[in-house]
Amino acid sequence: MMPSLVVLTDFFAVSNHALSYAAGLALPLHAQLTLLHIPQPELLAPSAYEPAGSYQAPPNRRQTSYALQLLAAGPPVLIDGAAPEDDLPDSLTSAIHAASPLLLVLGQPGSTALPAELMTTMAMTLLHRVAYPLLLVPLRGLDAFPPRRLLLAIDGLPFRLRPHQDVLRRLLQATQGTLDVVHITDDAHAATDAEHLLATLRASDLVPDLPPRRLHQVYQPAVTAGVLAEAARLHADMLVLLARPHSLLGNLFHHSATVRLLRDSPIPVLVLPVQE
């Protein structure tokens, strides 16, 4: 069965950039695209994160169908359309599980109709509800394609990949890309022995053996600033994060740091749900 990349779209954001980016990844990954329409994306935002401001009314069924046809007419890959309607969180979760995707794709909004914070919150909600890798595509920072310089941020704790989730390995093989790893330390979290970090990565089976020169330990009190600075220094064109089921990136990589990285990263962010 051909793997699927599921692109979530609402049409207010005019997320063609995310669809185009996903289509470009689908070709080397030998995957098809599945479009899932989200009629009211604000329903995926928990009240604690619900941004201020008003939203436009969702398009009617005819407008939705027409928009799906317009989006599907673009990329030269197979696209299946599915549109969850009532009880959005549950129906969307069911539709995603039915697609059994290799990757979920969300795009930052292209207009002020939906604030960027909502897309970030949607990403966090999806990570809690479905354990599939998720890619958040920014409006800009897409000049380097396909992504060949990936940067993985780790917290130094052991982890295991979920079954059948080897999208990072596939992506590196398909694009002949390279992977660097950054471990951020601060006054409360001392630098970890490099061999221990490398052994943790080997045990996870996330990627093949990582050369020691590809591991970088950086002192920076602000996790977000440290990760983004290292991404800029290495000219990375994709950032990779690990999402743990309870602590969400654990220790230094707590919930707010994850949100800030998703919101502020100028390059696409791939989030991999992992097991403890």
Q: Is the domain of 25 the same as that of 122?
A: yes
Q: Which of 37-46, 168-177, 252-261 has the lowest mean pLDDT?
A: 37-46
- Give yes or no: residues 40 and 127 share one domain: yes
Share of the chain above pLDDT 70, in %: 70
Query: Which domain does 66 fall in, by range?
Result: 4-137
CA neighbor of 96 nearest in space, from 38, 25, 36, 18: 36
Both 76 and 190 in a single domain? no
Nearest CA to 150 among 173, 179, 176, 172? 179
Q: What CATH number corresponds to the domain at position 175?
A: 3.40.50.620
Q: What percent of the chain has pLDDT over 90?
A: 30
Write the pLDDT tens digit of every residue in 192-232: 889 999 999 998 888 878 999 999 999 998 889 999 999 99
Contact 251, 105 (CB under 8 A): no
Does residue 73 come out as left (phi exceeding 0), alpha (psi in the -120 to 50 range) or beta? alpha
Q: What residues are paired with 150 via a beta bridge?
A: 179, 238
pLDDT of 97 > 90? The answer is no
Question: Does residue 18 sit in the same domain as residue 121?
Answer: yes
Q: How far apart are CA 94 and CA 257, in angstroms?
A: 29
Residues 129 and 165 in one domain: no
- Flag whether 142 is in a domain: no
Provide the phi-psi class of 46: left if phi over 0, else alpha when psi is between -120 and 50, else beta: beta
Does residue 18 form part of some domain? Answer: yes
Question: Do both 132 and 12 map to the same domain?
Answer: yes
Do 38 and 55 form a contact (C-beta atoms < 8 A)? no
Q: Note whether 133 and 223 are same-domain residues.
A: no
Q: How many domains does the chain have?
A: 2
Phi, psi for 97 (deg, rounded to 5) = -60, -35
- pLDDT at residue 123 above 60? yes
Q: Which segment, 1-15, 71-85, 145-159, is predicted with the most confidence on average? A: 145-159
